[in-house]
Structure formats: structure tokens, C-alpha cells
Amino acid sequence: MNTELLGVVATFIITLAIGIPLGKYISKVFKGEKTILDFMAPLERFIFRICGIDPTKEMNWKQHVAALLSLNLLWFVYAFVMFLFQGSLFLNPDGNPSMSPHLSFNTAASFLVNCNLQDYSGETGVTYLTQLAVLMFLHFVSAATGIAALVVVFKAMREKVTDKLGNFFEIFVKSITRILLPISLVIALLLVFHGTPASFDGKDQLITMQGDTAHISRGPAAGMIAIKHLGTNGGGWFGANSAHPLENPDYFTNMVEVIAQVIIPVALIFALGHYLSRKRLAWVIFGVMTIGVLIFLYPALHAEIKGNPAIAQMGPSSSGGNMEGKEVRFGAPASAYWCILTTVISTGSVNSMHDSFMPVSGCMQLLGMMTNCFYGGNGVGILNYYIFLIIAVFISGLMVGRTPEFLGRKIEAKEMKIATIIALLHPLLILAFTALASFGLVRDPSLPWLNNPGYHGFSEMLYQYTSCSANNGSGFEGLGDNTPFWNITAGFVMLLGRFLPIIGPIAIAGILAQKKYIPESSGTLRTDTGTFGLMTYAVIMIVAALAFFPALTLGPLAEYFSRH
Amino acid sequence: MKTYLLPSLKLTAVLIILCSVLYPLLIAGIAKTAPGQGKGVTLSLNGKVVGYENIGQKFTKDEYFWSRPSAVDYNAAGSGGSNKGPYAPDFLASVKARIDTFLVHNPGVTKEQIPVDLVTASGSGLDPDISIEGARIQVQRIARKRNKNEKDLFDLIDKTKEKPLLGFLGPEKVNVLKLNIALEGLPK
Amino acid sequence: MTSERKKAKTMKLFEGGLVKEALKHAFVKLDPRIMVRNPVMFTVEIGTAVMLLVIVGILFTHTHDQGSLGYNIFIFVVLLLTLLFANFAEAIAEARGKAQAESLRKTREETPAKLIAPVGELRVDEIQVVSSSSLKKGDVFLCETGDIIPTDGEIIEGLATIDESAITGESAPVIREAGGDKSSVTGGTKVLSDRIKVKVTTEPGESFLDKMIALVEGASRQKTPNEIALTILLAAFTLVFIIVCVTLKPFADYAKTPITIAALISLFVCLIPTTIGGLLSAIGIAGMDRALRANVITKSGKAVETAGDIDVLLLDKTGTITIGNRKATNFYPSNGVNAEVFQERAVLASLADETPEGKSIVELAKTLGGKTQASDTLLAEARFVKFTAETRSSGIDMKNGTRIRKGAFDSIRNISEKAGNAFPEETVIKVKEISSNGGTPLVVSENEKVIGVIELQDIIKPGISERFERLRKMGVKTVMVTGDNPLTAKFIAEKAGVDDYIAEAKPEDKMNYIKKEQISGKLVAMMGDGTNDAPALAQADVGVAMNSGTQAAKEAGNMVDLDNDPTKLIEIVEIGKQLLITRGTLTTFSIANDVAKYFAIVPALFIASIPALQHLNIMNLKSPESAILSAVIFNAIIIPILIPLALRGVEYKPIGASALLRRNLLIYGLGGILVPFIGIKIIDLFIGMFF
């Protein structure tokens, strides 16, 4: 095996090696057991005191949702206003302008929902103030929101019948103080010592060897890059995101960043196993998710390593792979690995330009976001998976002749209603809005939206809404998306694609927690077996992927077949 | 929801201080001890800063090792890629043009020998590296231009190239700016 | 068994008469007001209507951008067939259920009833012959030898042997008498001897059977919670594909690919789960029908489903686990008593004993080859002593003065000790030994002297432990309920292989046990007949009352077993499971079908303008038209092909939940993916000859 593939394998192994103990740690944090970061307790107590929060006051699921929405509403207003006036505020050494209202709306929504679609460019669209006090702040709190929502569901899945599911603020604050902040600090320092800037100095100017004048954007980027990955956010400091050599200076930082973005989603699976004392279930979920990822990864790796046949036809050897939009220091395999990981997880940071990937890889990236539950974003990945789990439990429960039950609770009409609405939402948002955009282009083909003609152009639009609905944030960046139409429609898709899939699972879990607990018997369908895992995978692929088959046919598949 | 608004507001304020003020300041502080003091590592030639180690710059003159094509013309204040689809006609046309340009400047090189990274634009537009092949293929041109022994240039590439991480992870590559600085340093 | 009932039970899947009626109903059910109850098929109906408009449009405008007239008509017809097939499935299931119920009802319709008319305050035996249908609740009628009992009721006076074969198919007559737990009579059964007065217990048209018929007919059929949840899921799948198909139009416009309305509707109809949507109600009705076929009347569809979920099964020992009553298995004479003599005495003591135990003693002696026929003269002059609660023994006083008694250990000990005779030690030991082996000892004395012990044993039904094993694999815990002492109960429980037992059970013990299990989240089923079972039957999640039981018991339970067969519970559990499995597997099959249908239709949609997509046509279908037609035809004919499976139900195999899931996933999941590939290809080969 060559060094490039070895790098990919090593990255995955390290992820697992860190993920398992980290999961145990996260579980202990939320169980209130002793951990090495207990020295944070005084800080937390201080925060609760000055905020007037009683962390011991338990909430039911509806109160959790209310608290979650209160926080998010405030952040949204705050971010919107800040972007609107950033040009005239302090900490703006490069003199960047304020945003238009529709771009403010889009950007506020995008960062609030952990999507981090960027219709602006990092170097010129935001100021140091908004980068740090708005974007980086939202990186932390949106990730913590996802984790906290999942922990509420963990608490509801325990065996006792209850409507008391802990205090949302307590879970939320601990997600930051015990998980996100300390780990981000470590990652940021690793980056700093490999060349990522962290100072508050503005742009630099110099004369190059050839005699050109170069302006070099810098800034306190390291901290933000750490949390953008750890929080599965993806919104970077620079326009080129993690392809930028200051944001991601070498192969080591590339490994750090791609591990950082998947580490909490992976750890949360094992946290679930530890928290509920259902290790087998955790391993089955991990297995299904990993197989899901590998099935998307293989074609992408293959296509990128093989390179672009259209270029090979013109002469140059394709031994380097498909290098358009990629960096030499990462190479095609590590870029392909990253592109799949960043799309299955809702990070959406890129170390190479997705628009320029081969059609097969583009198709896999799209599928990663369409399924949106293989590892998935912080907290929300498992929440999405939970929805499919409920549907899988329902169908397979019937298949073995029992009224379906999951972890001792019967799944009935009400839960199915919520689960199907959430499962429906994703294809609805993606297909309906892509249809709207297609309709717009049919009416007025002169609209300057697409950077590429034909099928690839269609993929750009499909990718945009898929990315928004999945709260991913990566893009086929060729799309000219800083227009009122794209900013506003994408903003709505992101908001809907975020909050309904969080509220749904909390509601289901909350309702189930109040139901009678039925102990397992030999007739109970076990959800921690390979067979059930396979069933879940089939449900995910059929519900989440099959609906998109015609759309994919007109996009990447048509593009692929027209060359093969 | 109303009951949660006030604590939410206070919590937001506290967390802005924690995450957006204390956290980056702490990192900036520690970064002072890092190479480049957290401002990026610069490289100098003859005592004059000529660039950042990690930021690729434009090399189009025949006496230098060329960098990769850049969709943003190596504008380090506005990074980005071409975002062209792999089969987009205009993209393929520009690749064709790059191949032709390269062949004109490197007589004796066949188009099959050109490594793909030299005719494709990077994702950031600031790629500081090229492949080893990409450097070696340029040796003939530079040797002729600079009246140098080809072997010395090959040796220079070998000396400057960066091995995979720990020797076995990731690609081998060579930093164009470092290579060109070293090139300038060769005895006349 | 009456021929009517026999015919109904062995009815073919597609009985000529029923098919005719079902076909008629298939058209009646096209009424949108009826269709709207089934969201999946309703959308198909809308699609069919749109196709009709397209055809009309083509006829009037003579345009050709929607494809040829013939092609559009063909699609329309296939869609209409899809609807009719689905309606037919429901109609045939209803017809079968109805036929089943009718065959029961016919036996009791319009029989003359001897109404005892109340005169003033007093009821005198003034008998009017009226029609059975005019009997109201509270009326009293008379039945004598040879009469058909006109309606359900409770005996208030008298005793009779009754032939219930019309209902149960069991030819052995049963005895019903006033008071106690065997007081109930069923309309349609025949009095073989004696006369009884019966009080009508139900209003006309409200008997269990009437309720059952209404359930099957669909008028009052309510969806069960599980059906509702599944309908939601299917509606969601339908909605997804509405979105898919509606958005495909602008997508195709962007790609400059015109799509005909026929193709779009075909894609939609193929993708939505029409297979399960069309068969769903048929499956539910068939479940109830299967219960009825097993001679169980259910009061709701939900009860059948719940039966599939049962965790704990309470079973009466007698009749369920053991054959009827105890049987004599051994004679143990005391020391110094001749074995043959003892045997003879034992027989003499039992000759007048009409209980099964008594008879079994005579039988045992017969098989051992001893003397069993006492001379008539001897018997004629003898005096039989009947069993009383006071003496707790029975026997015979012979002319020569010999007094033989047999009875429980302590009662015979009393007799012998009163007479001053010592109770032999070895007999005490024998008695204990028999008890601890699960048997019941009967001590025999002659002239107040103990002469030996008869061992009575419960005979465990052959094959019953295998059935319990099967239940255990289903995850059902079995509990034996018995009046025996704990020692005997434990022995039998172990031998029969039940998981738990309740010994010396009183009615409230059952109730408490059920409550205890329910608190821990279990679902409990039980069977009962007596009035004192009623609270427990009501408390149990599935309470099956025996038809011979009291009215109170029948009202309390949610099923009535016409056969009075205690092992029926096991069958009911399987019927419930089968019902759910059939739904689950057909849902899986239906959804898995989509993969192949996509590969048939999607390339066909775009191939004209994007020839490269020919690569996606992996089935190598001949032309876009034939591909689309093949897919919709497959989609339509799979419904009637699966009707037999829906009606019969997918077999339940007790191999553990995970193994069962694996098996069904393999058959219906993988099968569901592969079958349509083959089916569509075959249809295409055929259609390709014309298109």
C-alpha cells in the first residue's frame, strides 16, 4: 500500500482509538461521575450563579425544547444584527464592509444551525470581530446545542419511566466547558505549532521573488479552525477553508483536522453505549455507520485516484489523480477521504474543492448529505439515525410478529407520525427547492447562477440545497449563491433542516420515556444484532437515498455516463 | 419559552466572553512561543522577506521552478479554486492551454510526461507545493536557462523535497518557494 | 359437523361464488369516498383519473407530445386494474370472512322458538311458538328433546345434553345445566335430551357473532393502532414519492427532457407502496377470518394483534396440560392382601362411580386382566354409597355385609381409626410417595380395614411439552393454574415443561398474578369459563372465554372460543403473530420492489434526450415505452399474485426474533429486490413484441 492510502487508513484507526475512550469520558460527564476535568466545576457553578440558573431543576422534553429554542432565537437576532453593522464596528483591521440584509440572514442562519454555508468569502466578507464574537461563538454554542439535545435523548432512553430529563442549561454548559472548549484548545495549539496564525495582526504585504506584490490575509484563525472541526461546523477563517495553506498547513494538520471533525460524532456513539450500558448497541450503530461511510468512500477514493480521463486524453499522466481543486500536500486519497467524511458528518469544511471532484465522488458527497446520519453532526447525527432506527424497529417488529418496541418502549402511531415527518422533511426541502431553482433557470436561462453548464450545473443547485438541509455547509462553490434568492431560500432550508430534526427525536424519546417499560424477553426483537443493523442500513438507504435517485440521475450520474 | 429568555440572555453574554474573548486570547498568547509567533512563518532571501513558507506564490519565469496554476492568480487575500466541473468545456480548454504553454517553454518534454498537478489549479489557489515529478520535469528548462548541470538540480530537488509524514503517511512533495530560494543559493 | 360449517372451514381460497361477489365489490369500492380511507390507493385513483383526462385531451386535440393514444390508454387500463386488484383483495377477504360468519349465522336463523309468555306477575308455562328473530333480551324460552336452540342464552332451569357440532364441529354431546359454569347455550345447537328453560341474554343482532360479522364486513371495522401506524408510514412513503415525481418535472425541464404525464404517473404509481397499500385491509380481515376458522370469535381486530404480543399465558391444568381428569395407573395392595383380591375390591368400589376417575379404575383393572364383572345378583343386592363432601369417600355395601370404601387418605384413615384398626405404616409411605410423584392416592378399605392404595395420575397430553417449547421460543411464558397442592403442581409443571405454576389456585390468585405481570410491563392472556373468572378475563390483555362458560365470562373477555378448547390460546397467539408478520413482510417486499422499478423507469424517462443513461438500463429493456409498461404491469399483477399470501398469512416460525428477522429479510427483502427485476424483464420480453 502506498503512503497516501496508508495515511487514510492511519487516520481512521487513530479516530477510533481516540473515539472510544472519549465516548466513555463524555458519558461520565453527563452521568455526573468523576472525570479529570472536574476542576471546571467552580467555573460552571459561577456561570450558573450569575445567569440565575438552577442546574438541578429537571425539565420535561417540552421544557427542553423551549430552552433550546430560547437560546437559539437570541443568538439568531444577535448574529443578524452584528453582520448588518460589522463594517462600522471595532476589530476590523482590513476594513471589510457590512453585509446586506439577505446575506446577514443567510449567514446568521447558517452559523446558528451548525451548517456554515458561506455565501461570503472569509478574508473579505467578515471582520475579526464577527469572526470571533459571532462565528466562533456560534461554532461553540451550535455544537453544544446538538450535543445537549442528544444527551436529553440519552436520558430519555434509560429504563425508568420518567418525564424528568435533566436541566438543559446544565447539559449545554457542560458540553462547552467539559468537551468543546478543552479539546479545541488542544487542537488549536497543535495547529499553531504547525504554522496556523493566531495573532490579531492584519494583512501582510510583501514583494515576492518574482517581484510581484502580494497581500496575505492572516488573523487569529487557529482557535476558530479548531472548533469549526470539533464542532462539526465547517465555517473556516479563509475563503478556501481548509484547503488554504494557513488554515491547514501540512499533512499532519490535515490528519488532526479530519480526525477532529469526526471525533465527537464517533465518541457520542460509544457514549450512548456507556451511558445506557448497551455496549453492543453502540457497536452495532458504529458498524452500520462505518459501513455506510465506507460504501460512499470507496467509489470516491477510486475515482479520485484514477484521475480525470478527459485530462488523460490530452496527454498528462493521471498518476497524480484528479488534482483540480486539490492541494499537493494532501494528495488525491486524503482529499477524497476528507470529502466523504465532511459530507457524512455535517462539518462541510473542505480541504479541496468539491465542485471539481469527479462525478462519482460528487454523487457520493451528495449521498453522504442525503443520508446525513452516518456519524453525522455533533449530536444531530445520532438524532437523525434515531429517526431511521424508529422506522426500522417498526418494520422489523412487524416482521417478527410483535408490536414494535425499542429499548423496552412500544412504538405506536404518534411516534411514527413524528418519525415519518422528520424523515420526509429532508427530501422535501432538497427536492422542492432544487425544483424551484431549476424552474427559475428554465424561465430565465440568463440568470448568472451556475459556474458550470449542463448536468454539473444541476448538481451545483442540488448540492446547495442538500448541503443546507443537511446543515453541512460545503458547496459546489461554483454556484453564484450570494444573491437574494439563494441567500433567503437557503436560509429557510437551513433553519427548517436544523430545528425540526432536533425537536422530533426529543419529542419521540420524551413520549417514549413516559411509556411503560417492558423488560426484554426472548421474543423481543434485539436491536443490537447485525441483522437489525442491516435492516437499519436498508431503511436509511431506501428512505433517504432512493428518493433522490431521479435527481442524482440528472446530475452526477448523467455526467458520469456521458463520459463512460 | 418566556421563562428561559432571561437566563438565556445572560448565558449568551457569559459564553461570548468565554469562547470569543478568553479562548482566542489564550491561544494568541501561547502562539507567541510558536514558530512565526502565530503570524505565519516567513522565508527570506538575502535578508529580505520574500514570502510565507506556507503561502504559494506565482512563479512563471523560466528560470524558476513554476508553481501550480492558480484560479485566483495567487491572491493571498482572496483564496479559492476554479470550481470547475471535471468535464466543463472551459475547464478542459484551460487545461489544454496550460499543456501547450508548458510544452512551448519546455521543449523536449512530451505531453505524456507532464504531471497532472502542473496543469490543474489547486483548491486554495495558494498551493505552496508541487509534486516531485512536477519539479523534475522542469529541470531541463531551468538548467538550460541558468547554465546549470541537470544533476545538480536533481540533487537540489532531492535535498529540498519533503518526505511523507513520519516517512510513511501521505504524499511526497516539494515546496516551490524553498526550492527556488535554494536554487538562488546554488554557486554561480 | 354440519355440511355448511364443514364447507366454510375447508373453503378454497377463491370460491367461485365469492369471487363473483368480490369482483362486483371491486368496482363498487372505486367510489372515491370509500377509496379515501386508503391513502395509498386513493392517490393511484387520482393518477388514473388524470390519465383519463389525458386520453380525452388527446382525443380532442390530436396532439402527440403525450405519446400515442394507444399507449396512454394502455397505461390507463393497467392503472385501473391496479385499483381493481387492490379492491378485489379487500373484497375477497371480506367475502370469505362473511361466508365464514354467515355459515355460523345460518344455523341459527329463523328457527321456531317456544316462547314462555309472562302472564301478569307470574310466569306460567303458556308457550307461544315465535320466530327466533323476534326474541328479545330477557325473554324465556323452552327447549325440549330435538329442538334447535333459537338463540344465545343462559339456562335458568333444567339440564340437557346438547349437540354443539353445528358450531364447534365436535360431535360428542355436552351437558349443560342451570347454575354453575356450564349454563350457557348457543343458538343453532340442538337439544338431544331433556328439557331446559333458557333466558335470552342478547338483543337480536347484538350477539358476538353479529358483532364479528360486522367487523368482517367493514362497516364497523376500525383500524387497529398498529394498522394506523403502518398507514402513516405508507402515507409518508406516498408523500415522498409525490415530491419526487412533482419535482422531477422542473428537473427534466432544466435538462431539456420532456416527460409525458403517463410516464410521470407510472413512475409515481410504481414507487408508492401499492402492493402493501392494496393488501393491507385484506390482511387484517384475513386475520380475523383465520381466528374464526379456528372457531374463535374476536370482538375486535385489536385483540388478535394483541394476542401476537402476549408475554405470559395462563393455562388451566385440566384439559390443557393434562387430558381431562386423572387416571388410575397402579394398584398397591397392603401387606398380606392378595393383589387380585385388592383389584377386585377396587373395582367393586368403583362400579357405581360415574366420575372419570372411577371409570379409569375399572379400565385399569380391565387392562391388567383382572375380574371386572361382578355377578349381577351380587350387584343387584348391593347398595352403592355415593361420594359426599362429608364423608369424602364412596363405595359399596354388599349383601353379605362387606363394606368397601375408597377415598382420600385422611378420610379413610378416619374410618379405619374410628373402627379401632391401625393404619398400616407402609400405606402411609406409599401415599406420600405417590403424592410426591405428582399422583393422587386413593386409599381403599374393606370393613374399615385398609387393604391398599390406588394411584391416580394426571396424564400429560402428548406433545404438550413441545408446544410449550415452541411458546418459549416465541418468548411466551406459560403458567399452569391448578387446584392441586404445590407438590403435585410442581411435579406436573416440570413434567409438562411450563415455566411457572399457581397451585391451590383461587380465582383471585389468577387476578393477582395477572396484575403482577402487567405491572412489570407484560401482556397476559388467559382462558376462563366461570363467572368467578370474569374479573381476571377482563383484567387480562387477551381474555378468551369458553363458549360454554357463563355470560359474565363471555362479556368480560375479548374473544370467545366456540370449541371450549383450552389449548386454543396457543393457536390464537400464532394467528396474532402471523397477522403482524404478514403486514411487515409485505411492506418490506413492497418497498424493496422500488429499486428495480427505478431502474426500469428512470432510464426510460430520460433516455431519449440523454442517451448516455442507457447504461442505467441494466435490465436491457427494449424501449422506453415497453420499460414503463412492464413496470406498471408488474406493479399491478403482483397484487393478485400476493392475495393468497395475504389471506393465508405468512407462516410464523418460532426460531427466535433475530433469526426470524433474518429469514424474512432474506425472503421478502432480498426477494423483494430481485423478483421485480426478473418479473419486469419477462413482461418486457413479451410486451416488446408489440411496442
Residues B77 and B161 in one domain: yes
Burial class of residue A336 in the structure, from the number of CB atoms within 10 Å of its CB (0-12 exposed, 13-18 middle, 19+ buried): buried
Q: What is the pLDDT of residue C599?
A: 92
In this predicted structure, what is the pLDDT of residue C125?
A: 63
| Contacts with B, A 448-487, CB within 8 Å | 451-453, 456, 459, 476-478
B68 and B32 housed in the same domain = no
Backbone dihedral region for residue A158 (phi beyond 0: left; psi -120 to 50: alpha; all else: beta): beta
What is the maximal distance between C-alpha atoms in chain C? 117
Binary contact (A325, B122; C-beta < 8 A): yes
The pLDDT of residue C11:
62
What is the arithmetic mean of pLDDT over A376-397? 93
Q: Inter-chain contact A522–C615, Cβ cutoff 8 Å?
A: no
pLDDT of residue C3: 46
Domain co-membership, B133 together with B169: yes
Distance CA A192, CA B37 (A): 9
Interface predicted TM-score of the whole assembly (ipTM), two decimals = 0.95
Which residue of B lies nearest to A219 if distances are taken between CA atoms?
A: B39
- A146-155, B59-68, C111-120, C247-256: least confident range: C111-120
**Residue carrying the nine cell digits 403482524:** C580
Q: Is the pLDDT of residue C119 over 70?
A: no
- Residues 6+ positions from C342 with CB-CB distance below 8 Å: C331, C333, C334, C444, C451, C452
C318 DSSP 8-state letter? B
User: Residues of chain C with pLDDT > 90: what percent?
Assistant: 21
**Between C347 and A356, whose confidence is greater?**
A356
Mean pLDDT of the region A345-361: 93
8 A C-beta contact, residue C273 and residue A458: no
Indicate the residue type of A126. Answer: V
Give yes or no: residues B10 and B93 share one domain. Answer: no
Q: What is the mean pLDDT of chain A?
A: 92
Q: Is the pLDDT of residue C299 over 70?
A: yes
Of C240, C255, C581, the CB nearest to A401: C581
What average pLDDT score do residues A291-314 get? 94
Q: What is the pLDDT of residue B51?
A: 93
- Give the residue with greater pLDDT, C370 vs C511: C511
Same structural domain, B65 and B150: yes
Residue A524's pLDDT is: 81
A326 contacts B60? CB cut-off 8 A: no
Mean pLDDT of C87-95: 89
Distance between CA atoms of residues C37 and C32, nearest Å: 9
pLDDT band at C286 (very low <50, low <70, confident <90, very high): confident
The whole-number pLDDT of residue C1 equals 39
pLDDT of A60: 93
Distance, in Å, from the CA atom of C612 to the CA atom of C32, rounded to the nearest integer, reads 42
Cell numbers given for C495: 413434567
Pinpoint the alpha helices (H) of A193-250: 222-230
3-state SS, residue A487: helix
Could you tell me the pLDDT band of residue C218, with boundaries at 50, 70 and 90? low
**Cα(B20)–Cα(A562) distance, rounded to whole angstroms?**
49
Task: Name the one residue in this structure whose C-alpha cell is 374399615.
Answer: C448
Count interface pairs A-B at CB distance under 8 A: 370
The confidence score (pLDDT) of residue C264 equals 92
Q: For residue A326, what are the contacts with CB-CB under 8 A and spacing of at least 6?
A: A243, A332, A335, A352, A353, A356, B120, B122, B123
Q: C361 to chain A, minimum CA–CA distance in Å?
A: 43
Are the C-beta atoms of C450 and C414 separated by less than 8 Å?
no
- Name residue C405's beta-bridge partners: C395, C445
Contact map slice: A 215-244 vs C, CB within 8 A: none
Q: Is the dihedral of CA C247, C251, C253, C256 positive or negative?
A: negative
Q: In percent, how much of chain B has pLDDT > 70?
A: 99
> How is A24-60 classified by DSSP, letter by letter?
HHHHHHHHT---TTGGGHHHHHHHHHHHT--TT----
Q: A179-193, C479-493, C587-601: which range is least confident on average?
A: C479-493
Q: How far apart are CA B8 and CA B25, in angstroms?
A: 25
Higher-pLDDT residue of C587 and A236 is C587
A311 contacts on B by Cβ (under 8 Å):
92, 95, 116, 119-120
Contact C393, C426 (CB under 8 A): no
**CA–CA distance, A279 with C685 (Å, rounded to integer):** 52
Report which of C160, C199, C179 is spatially closest to residue C531, judged by C-alpha positions. Answer: C179
- Higher-pLDDT residue of A4 and A482 is A4
Residue A246 contacts residue A196 (beta carbons within 8 Å):
yes
Q: Please give the residue that has the higher pLDDT: either B65 or C470.
A: B65
Say if residue C95 is exposed, middle or buried (CB neighbours under 10 Å; 0-12, 13-18, 19+). Answer: buried
Question: How many CA within 13 A on the CB side of residue B91?
Answer: 26
- Give the residue from C40, C233, C241 with the most A CB atoms within 10 Å of its CB, the best one to mutate: C233
The answer to whether residue C344 scores a pLDDT higher than 80 is yes
Q: What number of other Cβ atoms are within 10 A of residue B168's Cβ? A: 13
Determine the Cα–Cα distance for residues C387 and C358; give it in Å rounded to an integer.
Answer: 11
* C274 shares contact with chain A (CB less than 8 Å): no
Based on the fold, state whether residues B85 and B119 are members of the same structural domain: yes
Cβ burial of A452 (10 Å; 0-12, 13-18, 19+) is buried
Residue C221 has pLDDT above 80, yes or no: no
As a whole number, mean pLDDT of residues A247-261 equals 95
Task: State the alpha helices, DSSP H only, in C298-424.
Answer: 301-308, 339-350, 356-368, 376-380, 409-418
C125 catalytic residue (yes or no): no
DSSP result, C637-662: HHHHHHHHHHHH-PPP--S-HHHHHH
Kindly tell me if the per-residue pLDDT of C109 is higher than 80: no
Q: How far apart are CA C11 and CA C3, in angstroms?
A: 12
What is the β-pairing status of strands C112-119 and C122-131? Answer: antiparallel
Q: Tell me the shortest Cα–Cα distance from A527 to chain C, in angstroms.
A: 9
Beta strands C153-163 and C296-298 are unpaired
Q: Show Cβ contacts of residue A184 under 8 Å, excluding neighbours closer than 6 positions.
A: A140, A223, A226, A227, A230, A231, B23
The residue that leads in pLDDT, C383 or A108, is: A108
Kindly tell me if the per-residue pLDDT of C343 is higher than 90. no
Predicted structure pTM score: 0.87
Chosen for mutation from C254, C523, C662 (greatest number of chain A CBs closer than 10 Å) is: C254
Q: Based on the domain organization, do B54 and B135 belong to the same domain? A: yes
A561: chain C residues, CB-CB within 8 Å: 610, 612-616
Interface contact B122-A328, CB threshold 8 A? yes
Between CA A463 and CA A363 the distance in angstroms is: 9
Chains C/B: 3 or more C-beta pairs closer than 8 A?
no
Please give the tally of structural domains in chain B: 2
pLDDT score at C435: 78
- pLDDT at residue A358, as a whole number: 95
Q: Given a contact as 3+ CB pairs under 8 Å, which chains touch C?
A: A
Mean pLDDT of C4-22: 69
Q: Structural domain of residue B35, as residue ranges?
A: 1-39
Average model confidence (pLDDT) across chain C: 83
Q: C154: closest CA among C198, C203, C209?
A: C198
Residue range A153-189, pLDDT digits in tens: 999 998 788 888 999 999 999 999 999 999 999 999 9
Mark whether B85 and B116 lie in a shared domain.
Answer: yes
Residue A455 with chain C: CB contacts under 8 Å: 255
Q: Which residue among A415, A531, A557 places its CB closest to the CB of C665?
A: A531
How many helices (DSSP H) and strands (DSSP E) are in chain A? 22, 4
Residues B74 and B158 in one domain: yes
Contact A223 B40 (CB under 8 A): no
Model pLDDT, residue C106 = 66
C440-451: burial string, b at 16+ Cβ within 10 Å, e else: bbbbbbbebbbb
Among A161, A370, A398, which would you mutate to test the C interface (most chain C Cβ atoms within 10 Å of its Cβ)? Answer: A398
Instruction: Output the pLDDT for position B1.
Output: 62
Residue recorded with cell 380532442 = C60
Q: Is the pLDDT of residue C377 over 70?
A: no
The whole-angstrom distance between residue B126's C-alpha and the CA centroid of its chain comes to 5
Of A1, A5, A3, A78, whose CA–CA distance to A333 is shortest?
Answer: A5
Name residues 634-653 of chain C within 8 A of A (Cβ). 652
User: Measured at the alpha carbon of residue A104, what is the angle toward residues A100 and A106, in degrees to the nearest 5?
Assistant: 120
pLDDT-based confidence at residue C380 (cuts at 50, 70, 90): low
Whole-angstrom distance, CA of residue B127 vs CA of residue B175:
9
Name every residue whose Cβ is closer than 8 Å to that of residue B19 and which is 6 or more positions away in sequence.
Answer: A136, A137, A140, A141, A176, A181, A227
- Of C152, C289, C316, C563, the active-site residue reads C316
Q: Which ranges of A474-515 would DSSP assign to H, the alpha helix?
A: 484-513
Confidence of residue A448 (pLDDT cuts 50, 70, 90): confident
Distance CA B65, CA A216 (A): 22
With 90 as the cut, is the pLDDT of residue B144 above it? yes
Q: How far apart are the CA of A8 and the nearest CA of chain B, in angstroms?
A: 8
Which pLDDT value is given to residue C66? 82
